[in-house]
């Protein structure tokens, strides 16, 4: 289930958009955007806080706190409802289109009377947008692409939303008398980046109590169909959930059947047929005798087919069957293998929590090392300066080793801290600081944050140049995509992958559910070049550190092992990688980089 925090955060983001659409105060819109982020990342459920407690959240003042209380008590906020009433629902819908902001949506409504996505498509095809200021053929192309993204995502939800709901359902049904086993299956168990619906599988002798408990869950909006072995509901969030109940001795076969992709299951059924067997959700049967051979565990089913157990994240028919038959399946990286997080933020820039809170939360996860990577000065809204960054470095050095670690990686001296930075890759591939300043960081993540519409050659050259910088260790969220909201940049990724392998630059697998960037398909391609990877949370709040699970699952879908992922390595090996031949870089280009870097900063100050 979504937390109250997430619901309030979404409401305040909508309020900020509505303020912008109606021409309201831009500062007020930014205040509510900031409050939305702060509430979404706050560890305590806002429904349990009073107005005074709410005002302890950064960015939440008296007026915003009152609106939160109003929402918790009534399910709505009058100020939001009043603005909604001023704007046709279709115009509000337009703001959901990637590449189309609130101001342009309002222009389309006022100038052309466009109040729905279908009307917008018709207007683009009639070339009516080209007479409007700020619009043109390229804008039309971008908007059409955004509409395609929106429509493809309409019936799907992001991974974290589906996972939260599924885990809640599994927990509830596992408590029902007679439930022997309960798990989620389908694309969610394969950890696809978006999910169309949720499949819940249970094992029980009597399905009745489970079906009743399922339909009586508090977030059931509609019971679509109800039967003895399968019941389907739609939740208040619009997500469809199917519950299937199978006999306990069919559990393994059913879990295998309802987890694999269609293509994977076709391949396993073909293997069964070639052996005179029939595979279904109830078991693996001998065709001639009809006798059930195995069905109780997935391991038994795969073994009878001549295969090792195949991890769910690989079950997409992308070579896992052939690798299994050759006994060459990879030993996939696990979340327990992660020794540290190499891309995180604090409230020094756009994070929500102070340094000590983030460090304490990381130590609580048992990390051996942890990197703080706030933004450099080229993202002007972050107000970073040399002095502020150096002051943070002193704080990081003071806290280094001050927090203990738990578990098998616990060591005397506590968790080691790395002081890093997330640099902005400029339009020409330059970064925020000159070499002499960059040399003071333990690691540098470099990311594209602007000029997303550069041409393919320019974008490729831009990212490759960043890879070639001797102080850039990791390319952050390499394609810049936001799932369902912003497309990937147009770059020759094979050229980028080759450059990373050549220069010893890691590619990030950004674990934030909005990003999951690199995607699994791109990871598979990059791995062939010998690229190393960093699975990072890009946490902007302590809660976000838990996103690591989604990044690791994406890495698994890309067939990565521990050795492929630099933040599974011991600290000494990691630091050798981070050196990246910097001594050569210091001697080769320091003077040129210092002069051009400072000139750039003075010209943009």
Q: What's the burial of 534, exposed, middle or buried (CB within 10 Å: 0-12/13-18/19+)?
A: buried
Q: What is the mean pLDDT of residues 537-551?
A: 96
Collapsing DSSP states into helix, strand and coil, what is residue 59?
Answer: coil
Could you tell me if 580 and 471 are in contact, meaning their C-beta atoms sit under 8 angstroms apart?
yes
Evaluate the CA torsion angle 490, 491, 492, 494 in order and state its sign.
negative
Contacts of 299 (CB under 8 A, 6+ apart): 252, 309
Residue 571 backbone class (left: φ over 0; alpha: ψ -120 to 50; beta: rest): alpha
- Residue 449 and residue 479: Cα distance in Å, rounded? 10
Q: What are the CA-CA distances from residue 122 to residues 116, 139, 554 (Å)?
A: 10, 15, 38
User: Given this chain, do its domains 253-329 and 335-604 carry the same CATH topology?
Assistant: no
- Residue 407 and residue 547: Cα distance in Å, rounded? 20
Q: What does the pLDDT look like over 20-73, one tens digit per residue?
A: 877 788 889 888 988 898 898 888 889 999 889 999 888 899 999 999 999 999
The predicted pLDDT at position 405 comes to: 63
Q: What does the pLDDT look like over 376-414, one tens digit per residue?
A: 998 766 789 999 999 999 999 999 999 876 554 445 469
Could you tell me if 185 and 221 are in contact, meaning their C-beta atoms sit under 8 angstroms apart?
no
- Residue 431 and residue 378: Cα distance in Å, rounded? 8
Residue 113: DSSP 8-state: -
The predicted pLDDT at position 113 comes to: 87
pLDDT confidence of 584, banded at 50, 70, 90?
Answer: low
Q: What is the mean pLDDT of residues 306-329?
A: 97
Residue 276 backbone class (left: φ over 0; alpha: ψ -120 to 50; beta: rest): left
Q: What are the CA-CA distances from residue 405 to residues 114, 215, 366, 396 (Å)?
A: 57, 43, 5, 17
Could you tell me if 431 and 423 are in contact, meaning their C-beta atoms sit under 8 angstroms apart?
yes
The predicted pLDDT at position 602 comes to: 39
Q: What is the mean pLDDT of residues 182-198?
A: 96
pLDDT confidence of 210, banded at 50, 70, 90?
Answer: very high
- Residue 107: CA count within 13 A, CB half-sphere: 13
pLDDT confidence of 145, banded at 50, 70, 90?
Answer: confident
In the predicted structure, residue 17 carries a pLDDT above the cut 70: yes
The Cβ of residue 131 has, within 10 Å, a number of other Cβ atoms equal to 10
The predicted pLDDT at position 409 comes to: 47
The predicted pLDDT at position 597 comes to: 46
The predicted pLDDT at position 596 comes to: 43
In the predicted structure, residue 592 carries a pLDDT above the cut 60: no
Helical pair 159-174 and 208-215, crossing angle rounded to 10 deg: 130
- Residue 221 and residue 194: Cα distance in Å, rounded? 22
Q: What does the pLDDT look like over 98-116, one tens digit per residue?
A: 778 777 887 888 888 888 8
- Residue 216 and residue 278: Cα distance in Å, rounded? 36
Q: What mean pLDDT value characterizes the chain? A: 90
Among the four given CATH numbers 3.20.20.140, 1.20.140.10, 3.40.50.720, 3.30.710.10, the one describing domain 335-604: 3.20.20.140
Q: Which residues of 277-312 are buried (b: 16+ CB within 10 A; e: fewer)?
A: bbbebbbbbeeeeeebbbbbebebbbebbebeebbb
In the predicted structure, residue 472 carries a pLDDT above the cut 60: yes
Evaluate the CA torsion angle 522, 454, 499, 447 in order and state its sign.
negative
The predicted pLDDT at position 365 comes to: 96
Report CA 235 to chain centroid distance, whole Å: 23
The predicted pLDDT at position 234 comes to: 93
Helices (H) and strands (E) in the chain, counts: 25, 17
- Please give the CATH superfamily to which domain 253-329 belongs: DNA polymerase, thumb domain (3.30.210.10)
- Residue 417 and residue 362: Cα distance in Å, rounded? 10
Query: Per CATH, which fold does 4-153 belong to?
Result: DNA polymerase; domain 1 (1.10.150)
- Residue 259 and residue 471: Cα distance in Å, rounded? 43
The predicted pLDDT at position 153 comes to: 66
Statement: 155-246 belongs to CATH 1.10.340.70: no
Could you tell me if 67 and 79 are in contact, meaning their C-beta atoms sit under 8 angstroms apart?
yes
Q: What does the pLDDT look like over 225-265, one tens digit per residue?
A: 999 999 999 998 788 999 999 999 999 999 999 999 999 99
Domain ranges of the chain: 4-153, 155-246, 253-329, 335-604
pLDDT confidence of 517, banded at 50, 70, 90?
Answer: very high
- 197-203 vs 240-246, strand pairing mode: parallel
């Amino acid at each position: 289930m979504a937390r109250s925090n997430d619901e309030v955060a979404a409401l305040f983001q909508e309020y900020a958009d509505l303020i912008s659409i109606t021409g309201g105060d831009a500062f007020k819109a930014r205040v509510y955007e900031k409050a939305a982020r702060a509430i979404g990342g706050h560890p305590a459920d806002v429904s349990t806080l009073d107005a005074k407690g709410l005002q302890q959240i950064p960015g939440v003042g008296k007026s915003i706190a009152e609106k939160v209380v109003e929402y918790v008590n009534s399910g709505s906020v009058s100020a939001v409802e009043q603005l909604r009433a001023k704007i046709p629902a279709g115009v509000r819908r337009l703001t959901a289109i990637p590449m189309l902001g609130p101001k342009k949506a309002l222009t389309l409504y006022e100038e052309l009377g466009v109040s729905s996505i279908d009307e917008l498509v018709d207007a683009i095809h009639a070339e009516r947008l080209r007479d409007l200021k700020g619009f043109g053929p390229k804008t039309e192309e971008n908007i059409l692409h955004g509409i395609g993204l929106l429509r493809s995502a309409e019936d799907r939800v992001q991974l974290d939303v589906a996972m939260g709901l599924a885990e809640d359902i599994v927990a509830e049904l596992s408590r029902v008398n007679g439930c022997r086993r309960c798990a989620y299956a389908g694309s969610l168990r394969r950890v696809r980046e978006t999910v169309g619906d949720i499949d819940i599988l249970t094992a029980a002798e009597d399905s009745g109590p489970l079906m009743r408990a399922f339909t009586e869950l508090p977030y059931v909006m509609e019971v679509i169909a109800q039967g003895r072995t399968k019941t389907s509901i739609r939740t208040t969030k619009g997500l469809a959930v199917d519950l299937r109940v199978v006999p306990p001795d069919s559990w393994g076969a059913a879990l295998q059947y309802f987890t694999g992709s269609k293509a994977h299951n076709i391949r396993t059924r073909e293997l069964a047929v070639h052996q005179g067997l029939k595979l279904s959700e109830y078991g693996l049967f001998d065709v001639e005798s009809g006798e059930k051979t195995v069905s109780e565990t997935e391991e038994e089913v795969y073994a009878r087919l001549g295969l090792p157990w195949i991890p769910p994240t690989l079950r997409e028919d992308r070579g896992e069957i052939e690798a299994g038959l050759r006994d060459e399946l990879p030993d996939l990286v696990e979340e327990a293998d992660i020794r540290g997080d190499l891309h995180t933020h604090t409230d020094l820039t756009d994070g929500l929590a102070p340094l000590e809170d983030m460090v304490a939360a990381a130590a609580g996860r048992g990390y051996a090392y942890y990197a703080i990577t706030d933004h450099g000065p080229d993202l002007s809204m972050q107000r970073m300066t040399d002095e502020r960054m150096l002051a943070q470095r002193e704080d990081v050095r003071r806290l280094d080793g001050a927090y203990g670690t738990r578990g098998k990686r616990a060591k005397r001296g506590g968790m080691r801290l790395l002081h890093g930075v997330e640099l902005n890759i400029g339009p020409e591939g330059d970064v925020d600081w000159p070499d002499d300043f960059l040399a003071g960081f333990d690691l540098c993540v470099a990311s594209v944050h602007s000029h997303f519409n550069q041409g393919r050659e320019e974008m490729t050259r831009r990212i490759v140049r960043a890879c070639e910088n001797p102080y850039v260790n990791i390319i952050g969220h390499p394609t810049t995509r936001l799932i369902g909201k912003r497309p990937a940049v147009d770059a020759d990724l094979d050229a980028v992958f080759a450059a990373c392998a050549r220069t010893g630059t890691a590619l990030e697998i950004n674990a934030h559910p909005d990003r999951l960037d690199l995607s699994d398909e791109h990871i598979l391609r990059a791995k062939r070049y010998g690229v190393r990877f960093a699975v990072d949370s890009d946490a902007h709040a302590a809660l976000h550190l838990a996103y690591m699970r989604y990044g690791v699952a994406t890495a698994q879908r890309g067939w990565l092992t521990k050795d492929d992922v630099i933040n599974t390595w011991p600290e000494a090996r990691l630091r050798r990688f981070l050196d990246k031949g910097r001594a050569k870089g210091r001697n080769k280009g320091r003077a040129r980089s210092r002069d051009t870097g400072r000139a750039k900063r003075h010209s943009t100050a």
